[in-house]
Amino acid sequence: MDYFPAFLDLKYKNVLVVGAGEVALNKIKLLLRTKAIINIISECICQEIQCFVQRKKVYWISKKFSKIYLKKTYLVIAATNDTKLNQKIFQMCNNACIFVNVVDDQSKCSFIFPSIIDRSPIVLAISSSGKAPILLRLLRQKIESILPSRLGEIAVIAGQWRSVVKNYFTRFLDRRRFWEKLLNGPFSQNVINGNIKKAISILKKTIKQPSVLMGEIILVGAGPGNSDLLTLRALQVLQEADVVLYDCLISKDILDRIRRDAKCICVGKRAGKIIINQTQIIKMLIEFAKEGKKVVRLKGGDPFIFGRGGEELEAAKSAGILVQIVPGITAGIGIAAYTGIPLTHRNYAKGLIFITGHKCIDKFENNWSILSDPNYTLVVYMGSLQIIEISQKLIFYGCKKSTPIALISQGTTINQRVVIGKLGETSNMIKNITTPSLLIIGRVVLLHEKLKWFNLSNRSNNIKNIYSVID
């Protein structure tokens, strides 16, 4: 983080604006939304600022800048077209530890102005640290469009009722539940629609409803790694969680979306190395839920695909705990999309089979003749380390040695790497491969070359001439 975001209380504090042209005017208009005392130093001032001076909204204290005006000043904005003067102001402010912004010269700013979305008392301030103003503008438009214009009113009413609610619900968790329930329900919609009376009556009713603090366990699929692939529901739940038990595969980007005050515990496995075993995980889930907490079990991909979600759910249900499931995009589906390998295709595959490669070779229950059917695409989770054994088995049961196979690591993320090869020649595919990785086997793999679209600079490592050998 190049700049630390913070909200300043400028109420009745001196802010100095040096310069009084158009540029200064924009900053003054912003500052006028606060109760700051705005002092202006400038040889001459533009008409609009002149009006502010007459209406005593700002004070024109001098024509010439001098060090004495920095006394008792919290913030300085230099908006003159005299670069030497700007430089001098910057230097003096820095020496005196006063925050200064020389407009349009980031090198002479100890603070920068964020882009502001004002639904006071809700204020959103965003910044690209001066790196990408247009991107910031687009982002701001997006945020503006999803925030109701009367959002501020919701916050005002919440503020007015805060102490009443605090007296009513003495436990912090009860209070949080109350606000979540209220704000997620028809109360907010009524405020947005201008039905304030109705909204208040809903609020009063909600307070009176006996609050039974029920914990719950929510299994959430986080998708294959790219945080853009989180579902809206997953995001909502992550924002409401009290406790999150997450796997090692969950990326930092995704962890960053969790409510800041939630307790986050990594319970994952990495390459077979167990940090906390399954029984302990289940025990923790149930214990937290019994304390009345909203417990999120965050898993890579989809919780019901090789994720042991079923077992955790069974245990939660048997313990009489409320459960919810939020599906996620499983690695096979996400990776298929991000590599341009359609798992089914009328000309190549009638269907698909997901298997786990983990200890699959010796398991008699795997029907290798079905897995070797060339009309199906085979997706192998946890199988990249056994790629040679799996290939040999498939060939033994009838697959052609020329069958295309893709080994994809860190799929859907910017580190995605795709290696394409043939079933008969897999030994050199595993070099430099990183975890997690997944195998896609079948004719659809041929389409990758034509349909790939993501992360093209991270070159795929294709074995040459494969296309001429496949019929």
**Stretch touching ligand SAH by CB under 6 A, among 1-9, 71-79, 319-327, 408-416:** 408-416
Which residue number, 403 or 409, has a Cβ lying nearer to ligand SAH? 409
Which residue number, 169 or 338, has a Cβ lying nearer to ligand SAH? 338
The gap from C-alpha 398 to its chain's centroid, in whole angstroms, comes to: 45
Give the C-alpha distances (Å, rounded to integers) separating 369 from 192, 296, 373, 453: 61, 40, 7, 34
Map residue 454 onto helix, strand or coil: coil
How is residue 292 written in tokens?
Answer: 């009345």
Instruction: Tell the smallest beta-carbon distance from residue 299 to ligand SAH (Å).
Output: 6
Which residue number, 20 or 326, has a Cβ lying nearer to ligand SAH? 326
Footprint on residues 411-430 left by ligand SAH (CB under 6 A): 411-412
Which residue number, 193 or 434, has a Cβ lying nearer to ligand SAH? 434
**Stretch touching ligand SAH by CB under 6 A, among 41-49, 170-178, 211-219, 297-305:** 297-305
Catalytic residue annotation: 247, 269
CA nearest neighbour of 18 among 78, 61, 62, 87: 78
**Stretch touching ligand SAH by CB under 6 A, among 137-145, 194-202, 263-271, 405-413:** 405-413
Map residue 227 onto helix, strand or coil: helix
Cα(first)–Cα(last) distance of the chain, in Å?
53
**Stretch touching ligand SAH by CB under 6 A, among 17-25, 81-89, 203-211, 296-304:** 296-304
The helix/strand count (H/E) of the chain reads as 17, 20
CA nearest neighbour of 115 among 102, 131, 128: 128
The gap from C-alpha 470 to its chain's centroid, in whole angstroms, comes to: 42
Which residue number, 114 or 436, has a Cβ lying nearer to ligand SAH? 436
> DSSP assignment, residue 134?
H
Contact predicate 384/418, CB 8 Å: no
Instruction: Tell the smallest beta-carbon distance from residue 250 to ligand SAH (Å).
Output: 10
Which of 86-119 are b and which e, b meaning 16 or more Cβ less than 10 Å from the residue's Cβ?
A: beebbebbeeeebbbbbbeeeebbbeeebeebeb
Q: Which contiguous run of DSSP H or E holds residue 290?
A: helix 278-290
Peptide bond into 342 cis (omega under 30): no
Contact predicate 361/331, CB 8 Å: no
Among 254, 258, 408, 423, binds ligand SAH (CB under 6 A): 408
Footprint on residues 234-293 left by ligand SAH (CB under 6 A): 249
Token pair 């990408």 is found at 132
**Stretch touching ligand SAH by CB under 6 A, among 5-13, 261-269, 341-349, 403-411:** 403-411
User: Is 448 one of the binding residues for ligand SAH (CB under 6 A)?
Assistant: no
Instruction: Tell the smallest beta-carbon distance from residue 427 to ligand SAH (Å).
Output: 19
Which residue number, 215 or 300, has a Cβ lying nearer to ligand SAH? 300
Among 78, 438, 441, 444, binds ligand SAH (CB under 6 A): 438
Contact predicate 335/301, CB 8 Å: no
Footprint on residues 360-399 left by ligand SAH (CB under 6 A): 381-382
Instruction: Tell the smallest beta-carbon distance from residue 470 to ligand SAH (Å).
Output: 24
**Position 13, amino acid:** K
Number of other CB atoms surrounding residue 259 within 10 Å: 16
Instruction: Tell the smallest beta-carbon distance from residue 395 to ligand SAH (Å).
Output: 21
Instruction: Tell the smallest beta-carbon distance from residue 416 to ligand SAH (Å).
Output: 7
Secondary-structure breakdown of the chain: helix, strand, coil percentages, each rounded to the nearest 5:
40, 20, 40
Binding to ligand SAH by CB under 6 A, coded x per residue (else -) over 215-244, reads ---------xx-------------------
Binding to ligand SAH by CB under 6 A, coded x per residue (else -) over 298-337, reads -xxxx--xxx----------------------xx---x--
Classify residue 376 as exposed, middle or buried by CB count within 10 Å of its CB (0-12, 13-18, 19+). buried
Which residue number, 103 or 407, has a Cβ lying nearer to ligand SAH? 407
How many residues touch ligand SAH (CB under 6 A)? 23
Task: Name the residue whose CB lies closest to ligand SAH.
Answer: 301
CA nearest neighbour of 409 among 447, 444, 461: 461
Which residue number, 215 or 309, has a Cβ lying nearer to ligand SAH? 309
CA nearest neighbour of 423 among 438, 443, 409: 443
Instruction: Tell the smallest beta-carbon distance from residue 259 to ligand SAH (Å).
Output: 23
Instruction: Tell the smallest beta-carbon distance from residue 312 to ligand SAH (Å).
Output: 12
Contact residues toward ligand SAH (CB under 6 A) are: 224-225, 249, 299-302, 305-307, 330-331, 335, 381-382, 408-412, 436-438
